[in-house]
Amino acid sequence: MTEVLPDEALSEREPIGRARSAPSGRAARPRVLFVSHTGTMSGAELVLRDAVQPWTGSTAFLFEDGTLAEALRGQGLEIRLAHRRTALTALRRDASPLSALPLLGRLGALMVEIARAARRCDVVYANSQKAFLLSALAARAVGRPLIWHLHDILDSAHFGRAQRILQVRLANLSAARVIVPSEAAARAFVSAGGRRSLVRVVPNGLDLERDPRPAASLRAELGLPAGPLVGVFSRIAPWKGQDVLIDALATLPGLRCIVVGAPLFGEDSYAAHLRDLAAARGLSDRILFLGQRDDVPRLMQAVDVVVHPSVDPEPFGRTLVEAMLAGVPVIATDTGASAEILDGEATGTLVPPRRPDRLAAALSELLGNPDAYAARTDRARARALSRYGASRMQHDLADLILEAVGRT
Ligand code: UDP
Ligand code: GLC
């Protein structure tokens, strides 16, 4: 679990800035309205779960019920669920904004609900894209500052042109701050037309307990095979590139692989494609599809190498940091934030995206000379511990929230 940001860190700042009076006459801690459109836990929601830790007593407005609602309730947040639960899955990232027309009634109702909730708070914090689009108008209507935690790379690989334009224009008009997890995401926001002065980079942070047992006992406990074993831990989605790893495996006899994760946002046909591909390459007995797991750190410690094969730019990639903390060598594609996180190749191997041949070569080099990479893996763990902890992220985000409310 993550360390709780001490309440004192915030209360020290309480007398500063715009104040809602507390009974003691001192300024009260601002009340934040956290808004999220999905109840499913992918990286952005895991970040939100950890980010709210210092904000017990604040409110979360969620478009749908689910694991996130449960997690935030557990963190002491008051949960308000949209009257008509919907994750707005019909609104796709690459679709024209006109596809929202049939949903206008529902979107309008959501905005009104967010505005009502926002009126009782000092600042609105929208997590991800859809939550931001609806919160922008709501926050404006009730005169509350708006923070957008943008977890995406706003480029043509991930979003249609009209959506990119809509998002940056709305951000330029209405956001007090746009928080992104990496320089790569910051650059993409600015290239899409976003105002540079709005952007703050707050790298994701997480804590992870390392199991003291050796990989061999973990494997036995987890029912995993002996021998060279590689793992991929991204959710199942075409841009996460699991197919490239399967193609690489086809050229590496004797190497097995675990594919961990599930298609969380409707990518079922890609999940089926991966199984078909494994069968077509004659790899069904060497690739284990483990589905969605809640013991990722332990599984990571049990493999010889973690591969992060995203084919489109990765905004951050918590799994990279998790692998570094687990003390396992990492091979990642050189796109998006990977090079920032791995400090070039100082703490991991970078390969070009969509190149099974290069991935296979990197795997064979690493697995053939494990001792040569031990010091690098230690450096990776030290880097993750010093730069990507949860407490640092919570402090950075709290500073930005207080700044948006005008208290610094
Ligand atoms: N994850 C998990 N179970 C799984 C697969 C992934 O808990 O079966 C977690 C993983 O440990 C990581 C997160 O999901 O913390 C994925 O975050 P990341 O930033 O890597 O990518 P995203 O899916 O958000 O694009
Ligand atoms: C998104 C991105 C991922 C990032 C996560 C948290 O889901 O795809 O790269 O780590 O958000 O910021």
Task: Give pLDDT tens digits for 173-197.
Answer: 999 999 999 999 999 999 999 999 9
Instruction: List, chain by chain if needed, residues with CB within 6 Å of any ligand 2 atom.
Output: 42-44, 47, 151, 181, 204, 314-318
Q: How far is the CA of 153 from the centre of ligand 2 (A)?
A: 9
pLDDT computed for residue 256 by the predictor: 98
Q: How confident is the model at residue 22 (pLDDT cuts 50, 70, 90)?
A: very low
Average pLDDT over residues 325-350: 98
pLDDT computed for residue 91 by the predictor: 65
pLDDT computed for residue 89 by the predictor: 65
Q: How far is the CA of 303 from the centre of ligand 2 (A)?
A: 23
296 lines ligand 1 (CB under 6 A): yes
Q: Say yes or no to pLDDT of 113 above 50.
A: yes
Nearest atom in ligand 2 to 204's CA: 12
Q: Say yes or no to pLDDT of 307 above 90.
A: yes
Average pLDDT over residues 140-155: 97
Beta strands 123-127 and 78-81, pairing class:
unpaired
Element holding 330 (H helix, E strand): strand 330-333
Beta strands 199-201 and 229-232, pairing class:
unpaired
**Phi–psi pair at 317, nearest 5 degrees:** 95, 80
Q: Which CATH architecture best describes the domain 215-387?
A: 3-Layer(aba) Sandwich (3.40)
pLDDT computed for residue 7 by the predictor: 43
Average pLDDT over residues 211-219: 96
Cβ(149)–Cβ(125) below 8 Å = yes
Map residue 361 onto helix, strand or coil: helix
Q: Do domains 3-205+389-404 and 215-387 have the same CATH topology?
A: yes
Q: Say yes or no to pLDDT of 323 above 60.
A: yes
pLDDT computed for residue 18 by the predictor: 34
The number of residues in the chain equals: 408
pLDDT computed for residue 107 by the predictor: 85
d(CA 139, CA 146) in angstroms, rounded, equals 6
pLDDT computed for residue 12 by the predictor: 39
128 lines ligand 1 (CB under 6 A): no
Q: How confident is the model at residue 340 (pLDDT cuts 50, 70, 90)?
A: very high
Q: How far is the CA of 151 from the centre of ligand 2 (A)?
A: 5
Q: Say yes or no to pLDDT of 348 above 70.
A: yes
Nearest ligand (C-alpha, residue 293)? 1
Q: How far is the CA of 188 from the centre of ligand 1 (A)?
A: 22
pLDDT computed for residue 37 by the predictor: 92
Q: Say yes or no to pLDDT of 255 above 90.
A: yes
Average pLDDT over residues 43-69: 96
d(CA 29, CA 259) in angstroms, rounded, equals 44
pTM (predicted TM-score): 0.91
Cβ(61)–Cβ(113) below 8 Å = yes
Average pLDDT over residues 115-125: 97
pLDDT computed for residue 1 by the predictor: 32
Q: How confident is the model at residue 104 (pLDDT cuts 50, 70, 90)?
A: confident
How do the domains of the chain map onto residue ranges? 3-205+389-404, 215-387
Q: What is the CATH code of the structural domain delimited by 3-205+389-404?
A: 3.40.50.2000
Nearest to 352 by CA among 305, 304, 310: 310
Instruction: Give nearest CA residue, ligand 1 atom 13.
Output: 43
Residue recorded with tokens 């992220």: 393
Task: Give pLDDT tens digits for 269-290.
Answer: 999 999 999 999 999 999 999 9
pLDDT computed for residue 102 by the predictor: 61
pLDDT computed for residue 16 by the predictor: 23
What is the best residue among 38, 46, 67, 235 to mutate for testing ligand 1's pocket, by most ligand atoms within 8 Å of CB? Answer: 235
What is the best residue among 47, 153, 316, 338 to mutate for testing ligand 2's pocket, by most ligand atoms within 8 Å of CB? Answer: 316
Average pLDDT over residues 144-166: 96
Average pLDDT over residues 94-99: 67
- CB neighbour class for 227 (10 Å; exposed up to 12, middle 13-18, buried from 19): exposed
Please state, in angstroms and as integers, the Cα–Cα distance from residue 219 to each residue in 77, 199, 248, following that order: 38, 43, 23
pLDDT computed for residue 9 by the predictor: 41
Nearest to 159 by CA among 266, 313, 267, 46: 313
Nearest atom in ligand 2 to 318's CA: 10
Q: How far is the CA of 318 from the centre of ligand 1 (A)?
A: 7
Average pLDDT over residues 351-360: 98
Nearest atom in ligand 1 to 292's CA: 8
Nearest atom in ligand 2 to 314's CA: 9
pLDDT computed for residue 347 by the predictor: 98
Q: How confident is the model at residue 8 (pLDDT cuts 50, 70, 90)?
A: very low
Instruction: Give nearest CA residue, ligand 2 atom 8.
Output: 315
Q: How far is the CA of 227 from the centre of ligand 2 (A)?
A: 32
Q: Say yes or no to pLDDT of 120 above 70.
A: yes
pLDDT computed for residue 19 by the predictor: 35
pLDDT computed for residue 343 by the predictor: 98
Map residue 267 onto helix, strand or coil: coil
